[in-house]
Amino acid sequence: MSQAVSTTVKNKVQSVANALSLKTCNKCGGNGYMKSSPNCYHTCLTCLGKGLISEQRESIN
């Protein structure tokens, strides 16, 4: 019985993961930081320093 429950949960997690895709951040160009002056860098707040943002597809069930 527990095996059937774990299979259902696993399929649900996989369907959510397949519905989300990552794309390069447009603001920082995928670097995760931006140069504001010749010697000063700031973390990109759009992607929170990761360089990737999640793009949700339209068909999420």
Q: Extract the tokens encoding 1.
A: 């019985």
Mean pLDDT by runs of 10 across the 61 residues of the chain is 52 59 90 91 92 70 48
Length of the chain (residues): 61
- 53 CB neighbour count, 10 Å cutoff: 17
In the chain, where the domains are located: 2-56
Record the pTM.
0.54
Q: Extract the tokens encoding 48.
A: 């929170």
Give 40-49's long-range contacts (Cβ < 8 A, gap of 24+).
none
CA distance 58 to 61: 9
- Tokens 């973390």 label which residue? 43
The pLDDT of residue 15? 58
